[in-house]
């Protein structure tokens, strides 16, 4: 069955154009991602942009409007075009990941006979080390910084504490409900990517603080109004921009890092665990990673720390080279 779909695309001179694509099944693809694969809204938005950009390029460069006509040289030329426009290899690889999922979906649906991505090699990317706040600055944050009084101040502190002490993603923090706090086992039930649930342990001080916070929260807003654990100043569910600005505000007090986002606290959580000897598989489970490869980046900082210890402590490391 062939579908005709109008896809709005922004091109480089900021003129809104509409291209017609037959048989590309964009909406069915996004329904599949949302309801079967359980992709996050953020990922869906990114994939819509990526697929729209690719469709626009294929239409205007090759006059192709059917997925069945797309071959690997077309995709390779798009990669060259993206590189020429200054896109980073990391950004391009994300776009290629979208295409890989898209053509795999079409192959599964019988819309195409072969997957053109099978002969496409993604450009290599350099390893990007995670940005994190050092331990002394995190201690300074919770010991010296004034978070304010009442519900608002307590909530602000708890948002920072939970992100740092559990390594949750921003979306996971926002989705936490009061019932997800298990005081009997000192655990949080977290709904992660792909609707996968995991249990995250909490330090005793965080459990006690959350217990006190919930009492203040219920006194302020009532226990039945909203099921979510953290609420805005108006008693509503948190939203991404709110959490980002809150984290940036407090990290700015203790660090000069250029990046001061919620994800930096996730990196900080994992890096501090790794630096203090935590097993990599344990860190993987705590972060909710599906693959160990995503967690291995945190080993770099531990290795650098070991190198310094070696240089300072081993007698031969201190001996200058003599011919």
**pLDDT tens digits along 201-236:** 999 999 999 999 999 999 999 888 889 999 999 999
- The confidence score (pLDDT) of residue 307 equals 67
Q: 7 - beta bridge partners? A: 19
Identify whether residues 190 and 305 lie together within a single domain: yes
272 counts as catalytic: no
| Mean pLDDT, the chain, integer | 85
Annotation says 169 is catalytic: yes
Residue with tokens 């205007």: 60
For residues 107 and 147, state if they share a domain: no
Cα dihedral value 244, 245, 251, 252, nearest 10: 140
User: Is residue 77 within 8 Å of residue 92, measured between CB atoms?
Assistant: no
72 and 119 Cβ atoms separated by less than 8 Å: yes
If we measure between CA atoms, which residue out of 145, 182, 143 comes closest to residue 166?
Answer: 182
Please report the pLDDT score of residue 37 as a whole number: 87
Q: Which of 48, 72, 248, 263 is catalytic?
A: 263
Give a yes or no: residue 316 inside a domain. Answer: no
Residue 9: what pLDDT?
37
Share of the chain above pLDDT 70, in %: 85
CATH of the domain at 221: 1.10.443.10
Q: Which of 54, 86, 119 is the last residue of a domain?
A: 119
Residue 170 in this model has a pLDDT that exceeds 80? yes
Confidence of residue 21 (pLDDT cuts 50, 70, 90): very low
Q: Identify whether residues 110 and 217 lie together within a single domain.
A: no
Enclosing domain of residue 19: 4-119
- Active-site residue, from 193, 237, 248, 300: 193
Q: Is 263 a catalytic residue?
A: yes
Regarding whether 188 and 85 lie in a shared domain, the answer is no
Count how many domains the chain has: 2
Q: Is 250 found in the same domain as 160?
A: yes
Left if phi > 0, otherwise alpha if psi is -120 to 50, otherwise beta: which for 110? left
Mean pLDDT of the 17-21 span: 35
Residues 140 and 264 in one domain: yes
Question: Do 166 and 245 reside in the same domain of the chain?
Answer: yes
Q: Name the residue with higher pLDDT: 21 or 151.
A: 151
pLDDT for the residue numbered 316: 64
Residues 34 and 160 reside in one and the same domain: no
Q: Which of 119, 151, 179 is the last residue of a domain?
A: 119
Residues 305 and 156 in one domain: yes
Assess whether 218 and 290 both reside in one domain: yes
Q: What radius of gyration do the chain's Cα atoms show?
A: 24
Residues 55 and 102 occupy one common structural domain: yes
Measure the CA–CA gap between 181 and 145, rounded to whole angstroms.
26
Q: Which of 169, 170, 217, 267 is catalytic?
A: 169
pTM: 0.64
At 14 the pLDDT is 32
How far is residue 187's CA from residue 165's CA, in Å, rounded to a whole number? 12
Out of 32-41, 147-156, 305-314, pick the least confident.
Answer: 305-314
pLDDT digit string, tens, across residues 67-112: 889 999 999 999 999 988 988 888 999 999 999 999 999 999 999 9
Choosing from 266, 267, 272, 284, the catalytic residue is 266
- Tell me if residue 260 is catalytic: no
The span from the CA of 231 to the CA of 234, in Å, is: 7
Other Cβ atoms within 10 Å of 273 Cβ, number: 19
Q: Once rounded to an integer, what is the mean pLDDT over residues 33-42?
A: 88
Annotated active-site residue 193? The verdict is yes
Verify whether residue 42 is a known catalytic residue.
Answer: no
pLDDT at 6: 37
In tens, the pLDDT along 109-152 reads: 999 999 999 999 888 766 667 889 999 999 999 999 999 999 99
What's residue 296's pLDDT? 78
Residues 193 and 232 in one domain: yes
Give the span between the Cα atoms of 285 and 287, in whole angstroms: 5
Does pLDDT of 159 surpass 90?
A: yes
């Amino acid at each position: 069955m062939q579908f005709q779909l109008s896809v709005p695309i922004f091109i480089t001179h900021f003129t809104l154009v509409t291209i017609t694509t037959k048989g590309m099944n964009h909406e069915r693809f996004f329904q599949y991602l949302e309801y079967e694969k359980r992709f996050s809204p953020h990922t869906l938005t990114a994939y819509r942009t990526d697929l729209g950009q690719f469709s626009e390029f294929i239409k205007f460069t090759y006059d192709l409007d059917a997925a069945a006509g797309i071959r690997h040289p077309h995709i390779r030329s798009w990669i060259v075009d993206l590189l020429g426009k200054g896109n980073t290899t990391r950004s391009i690889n994300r776009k290629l990941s979208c295409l890989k999922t898209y053509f795999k979906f079409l192959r599964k649906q019988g819309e195409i006979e072969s997957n053109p991505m099978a002969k496409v090699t993604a450009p290599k990317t350099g390893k990007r080390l995670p940005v994190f706040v050092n331990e002394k600055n995190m201690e300074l944050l919770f010991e010296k910084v004034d978070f304010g009084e009442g519900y608002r101040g307590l909530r602000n502190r708890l948002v920072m504490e939970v992100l740092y002490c559990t390594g949750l993603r921003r979306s996971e923090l926002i989705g936490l409900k009061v019932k997800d706090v298990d005081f009997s086992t000192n655990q949080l039930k977290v709904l992660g990517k792909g609707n996968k649930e995991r249990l995250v342990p909490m330090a005793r001080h965080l459990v006690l603080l959350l217990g006190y916070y919930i009492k203040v929260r219920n006194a302020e807003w009532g226990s039945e109004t909203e099921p979510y654990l953290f609420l805005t100043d108006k008693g509503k569910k948190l939203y991404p921009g709110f959490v980002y600005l809150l984290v940036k505000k407090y990290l700015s007090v203790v660090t000069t890092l250029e990046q001061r986002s919620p994800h930096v606290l996730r990196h900080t959580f994992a890096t501090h665990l790794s630096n203090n000897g935590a097993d990599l598989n344990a860190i993987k489970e705590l972060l909710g990673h599906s693959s160990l490869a995503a967690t291995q980046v945190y080993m770099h900082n531990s290795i650098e720390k070991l190198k310094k210890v070696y240089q300072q402590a081993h007698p031969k490391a201190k001996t200058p080279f003599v011919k």
